[in-house]
Amino acid sequence: MKIKSQILGAFLAGALATTAFSSVQAAEDTIKVGILHSLSGTMAISETTLKDAMLMLIEEQNKKGGLLGKKLEAVVVDPASDWPLFAEKARELISVNKVSAVFGCWTSSSRKSVLPVFEELNSLLFYPVQYEGEESSQHLLHRCSPEPAGHPGRRLPDGNRRRRAFRA
């Protein structure tokens, strides 16, 4: 878990360094982090554990003193396994709750639903599943993983491809 906690800290530090803060957020003693996983509906069985893992990692990071001298505060919402509701809940997290970054989604349908919201509102989504397609956005970070054999290469933000050999 130590590595996961360090990864969370690094991701959040990067997100916060690149995300614009409102004057209200900068004055607070906490950094709000959105958690956008289904807690009800058909995907709850998969996504509830992701929510629990994020809450545990946030708690561990807070025990270490937080991040950038501030405690992390999780804001959890339930999009209820409803793909259009994911976009509404993402907008709520960013616009109403003023989170600095969001960890969430589990399916490509939910990710595709929220991506326009993150791009419009200039926010950042950490998507917990490996890269799976040809989309690229500066507002979306997929979980890093080795490419499987035969994968045509990841598309970089500038549109170029990078090829790597798969090594077990």
Cβ-count burial 29-53 (b if 16+ within 10 Å, e if not): eebbbbbbbbbeeebbeebeebbeb
For 65, the domain range is 27-143
Q: Is 114 a member of any domain?
A: yes
Q: What is the pLDDT of residue 128?
A: 85
What average pLDDT score do residues 39-54 get?
Answer: 94
Q: pLDDT tens digits, residue range 99-121?
A: 999 999 988 899 999 999 999 99
Give, to the nearest 10 degrees, the angle between helix 2-18 and helix 44-63: 90
96 vs 25: CA distance, rounded Å: 12
Q: Is 49 a member of any domain?
A: yes
* Residue that has been written with the tokens 């025990």 in this structure: 63
What percentage of residues in the chain have a pLDDT greater than 70? 64
Q: Is 166 a member of any domain?
A: no
105 vs 83: CA distance, rounded Å: 10
Q: Which two tokens stand for residue 168?
A: 């077990």
Q: Is 112 a member of any domain?
A: yes
What average pLDDT score do residues 8-32 get?
Answer: 56
Give the up-direction half-sphere exposure of residue 110: CA atoms within 13 A in the CB hemisphere. Answer: 25
* Its pTM surpasses 0.75: no
* Domains in the chain, number: 1
pLDDT band at 10 (very low <50, low <70, confident <90, very high): low
Q: Three-state SS for 15? A: helix
Given a cut of 90, whether residue 21 has pLDDT beyond it is no
Q: What is the pLDDT of residue 17?
A: 47
Q: What is the pLDDT of residue 167?
A: 37
CATH of the domain at 130: 3.40.50.2300
